[in-house]
Structure 1
Amino acid sequence: MRKLYPPIEPYATRRLQVDDIHELYVEECGNPDGLPVLFLHGGPGAGLAPYHRQFFDPSRYRIVLFDQRGAGRSTPFAELADNSTWHIVDDIERLRRTLDVERWVVFGGSWGSTLALAYAQAHPEHVLALVLRGIFLGRPQEVRWFYEEGGASWLLPQRWAQYAGFIPEAERDQLLDAYWQRLTCDDEATRLAAARAWGAWEGGALTLEESPDTVASFTSRQVAVSLARIEAHFFRHDCFLESDQLLRNIDRIRHLPGTIVHGRYDLICPARNAADLAQAWPEAELHMVTAGHAASEPAIVDVLVRTMDRLAEQLH
């Protein structure tokens, strides 16, 4: 099985002011003259991790990564104002123009797959190919599956008991709203405790085998606060998408090369999501592998690295 490329440091970083409020952290890695690829992180609100640079051959790719509004090293941290799917789509276009990229491969996982589809459908003329992992289509039923009492609560009952148990019993019929009230209240200790309970639930479901390191990362202040606040904000607004928008508009991108990679045992974004996308987009390659949700799962890494190597041969 293929593994990630060795760790790499950026050859350039910058701050990109995208409006009166938000400034994005951007980095470029690999070969400045290589095939441009844009990495879109998950969440929304999760931010970048160093291993995100390692899916791509650094001798053949110009690798562009950025922390989305409110996430990671972008500022203001965990900011919700002017933070929506379409603000971020506009940010991607601004970044493309700033970097003088005509067309690029767009690579996104989980929420990053949602954003990649939204961007490509809005700007197909600037996309060379789409590589999507852990499909999330932003539909209300997908949010209910994991964050309210959907199927995931039956599969991880002990972790669910901790996540739901943070909220008083009288409010548990509306868990998302109950968490929202606490994530946006005036008391800092309450906000942090709610964010960490949210992060523990999500981090505990990411991998096929339980990973204490992943849970620790998702409950750290830096990740938990932006992840929980921004996710709750987006989910309360149906990810700023119309009903089944990404599937209904799939004809806008069916001419583009597409690869869909999904863990068969993904508890956060069930395999049905990938199957629905593949049915709407039969020209795309679908790889259903033995894995959970995380991009770091070995079977997912294997397919993603092979796919990016193949695209480098075909497109450069």
Structure 2
Amino acid sequence: MNKTAGHISAESQLYPSSEPFDRRTLDVGDGHQIYVEQCGRRDGIPVIVVHGGPGGGCSPIMRRFFNPEKYRVILFDQRGCGRSRPFASVEHNTTWHLVADMEKIRKTLEIDTWSVFGGSWGATLSLVYAQTHPDRTDKLFLRGVFLARKAELDWFYGGGAGKYWPELWERFVHLVPEGERHDLMGAYHRRLFGDDREAQSEFAMTWAVWENALASMGNNGTPYQVPQNYALAFSRLESHYFVNGAFLDEGQILRDMHKIHHIPATIVQGRYDMICPPTSAWELAKGWNNANLTMIPAAGHALSEPGVMRALVDATNAWTNDARWVYL
């Protein structure tokens, strides 16, 4: 591993970058075309990577958590974001559409069962997919757990996290008239889907910057700007999902855990995650005998946190040693 100033760099813990052996656009109906790619070993252990957001899109670094000589890695951009089209669209775009899209990918690629790897919203969708298709899910790799409950949304968009970052919270709140500040998610949603394009852009950027600034401990609250197109898809899709409670019943994921208790899981959680506090990961793992929860000290929410990276790579490596994969 490469070392810089006596410290192991984060990305040096990952596998080398590799190019996909397959890229395609898949028609999933309802006017949506989703981007799908495959990399690694064509006959390897199949794993689908579920990105966060909603609206974040997949990125090349997500390929690098898996040994390319062992894994067949499938990445996709969920409806409305990344290279999927129509861009930033919320029409026919719900959790259940995305679960159906994942199943269509599996069937199209002629995969019997696969592992599911997801963080943040990707963990939410991974869990809902597994609970819907437990017979198609071999293993879950989860990071930065978000269970899409009202208390979690209230924490991040109702002032909880803002108590730790008051200067950033003020930037997020100040765009909204005082009479609407009792429901900031609703106020942002109205502007993000309003007719005023200038306001739409301003609210999209502010929403995205608020989350980005709190993602990593290394950011230390730095409000980095993000590309405008990314901000638009990310903010519109998150707002759409969150004002609708992620299209789930309150507490549904924990309620339905009996459906997947037999599935092995690795849960990696940053101890100082400001976006998805550790209590959700702890509640998820409690009573799940096949789950292993690792709390990473001095780590936040982001996939790029060095301790989180190391734990996830260790977990994917360990899974290749399972008896069912000895042929590899």
Q: TM-score range by the shorter chain?
A: over 0.9
Partner of 2:178: 169
Amino acid of the structure 1 residue aligned with 2:254:
L
Q: Which moved more, 1:275-284 or 1:82-91?
A: 275-284
Aligned to 1:17, what secondary structure does the other structure show?
strand
Q: Check if 1:67 corresponds to 2:74.
A: no
Partner of 2:319: 311
Q: Distance in 2 between matches of 1:139 and 1:276?
A: 12
Q: Which moved more, 1:133-142 or 1:278-287?
A: 278-287
Q: Distance in 2 between matches of 1:157 and 1:8?
A: 41
Q: Distance in 2 between matches of 1:184 and 1:157?
A: 27
Q: Distance in 2 between matches of 1:198 and 1:188?
A: 15
Q: Check if 1:299 corresponds to 2:307.
A: yes
For residues 51-200 of structure 1, what are the structure 2 equivalents within 5 Å? 51-149=61-159, 151-200=160-209
- How many angstroms does 1:174 deviate by? 1.2
Partner of 1:249: 256
- Deviation by residue 1:171-190 (Cα, 9 ceiling, x = unmatched): 21111111011100112221
Q: Distance in 1 between matches of 2:15 and 2:164?
A: 33
> Among 276, 289, 293, which residue is 1:286 paired with?
293
- Deviation by residue 1:225-277 (Cα, 9 ceiling, x = unmatched): 11110111111111011121110111111111111100000000001110110
8 Å Cα contact 1:202-1:268 kept in structure 2: yes
Paired residue total: 313
Partner of 1:258: 265
Q: Check if 1:235 corresponds to 2:242.
A: yes
- Deviation by residue 1:75-111 (Cα, 9 ceiling, x = unmatched): 0001001100000000000110000000001000000
- How many angstroms does 1:38 deviate by? 0.4
8 Å Cα contact 1:72-1:222 kept in structure 2: no
Amino acid of the structure 1 residue aligned with 2:320:
A
Aligned to 1:8, what secondary structure does the other structure show?
coil
Aligned to 1:261, what secondary structure does the other structure show?
strand
Q: Distance in 2 between matches of 1:83 and 1:301?
A: 30
8 Å Cα contact 1:262-1:271 kept in structure 2: yes
Gapped regions of structure 1 (runs ≥ 5): none
Amino acid of the structure 2 residue aligned with 1:21:
G
Q: Distance in 1 between matches of 2:287 and 2:203?
A: 37
Partner of 1:209: 218
- Deviation by residue 1:31-89 (Cα, 9 ceiling, x = unmatched): 11100000000000111111111111111100000000001000000100110000000
Q: Distance in 2 between matches of 1:11 and 1:32?
A: 8
Superposed CA RMSD: 1.4
- How many angstroms does 1:127 deviate by? 0.7
8 Å Cα contact 1:13-1:25 kept in structure 2: yes
Q: Distance in 1 between matches of 2:51 and 2:271?
A: 21
8 Å Cα contact 2:214-2:221 kept in structure 1: no
> Among 50, 57, 64, which residue is 1:40 paired with?
50
> Against the structure 1 CA distance between its residues 280 and 189, is the aligned structure 2 distance closer, same or farther, given a 3 Å change threshold?
farther
8 Å Cα contact 1:108-1:133 kept in structure 2: yes
- How many angstroms does 1:145 deviate by? 0.3
Aligned to 1:313, what secondary structure does the other structure show?
coil
Gapped regions of structure 2 (runs ≥ 5): 1-7
8 Å Cα contact 2:168-2:221 kept in structure 1: no
- How many angstroms does 1:214 deviate by? 8.3
8 Å Cα contact 1:199-1:215 kept in structure 2: no
Q: Distance in 1 between matches of 2:307 and 2:289?
A: 22
- How many angstroms does 1:168 deviate by? 2.1
8 Å Cα contact 1:3-1:302 kept in structure 2: yes
Amino acid of the structure 2 residue aligned with 1:101:
I
> Among 1, 10, 16, which residue is 1:6 paired with?
16
Aligned to 1:42, what secondary structure does the other structure show?
coil
- How many angstroms does 1:8 deviate by? 1.4
Amino acid of the structure 2 residue aligned with 1:221:
Q
Structure with the largest fraction of helix: 1
Partner of 2:274: 267
Aligned to 2:267, what secondary structure does the other structure show?
strand
TM-score normalised per structure 1: 0.96
8 Å Cα contact 1:208-1:292 kept in structure 2: yes
- How many angstroms does 1:6 deviate by? 1.3
- How many angstroms does 1:146 deviate by? 0.2
Identity %: 44
8 Å Cα contact 1:247-1:280 kept in structure 2: no
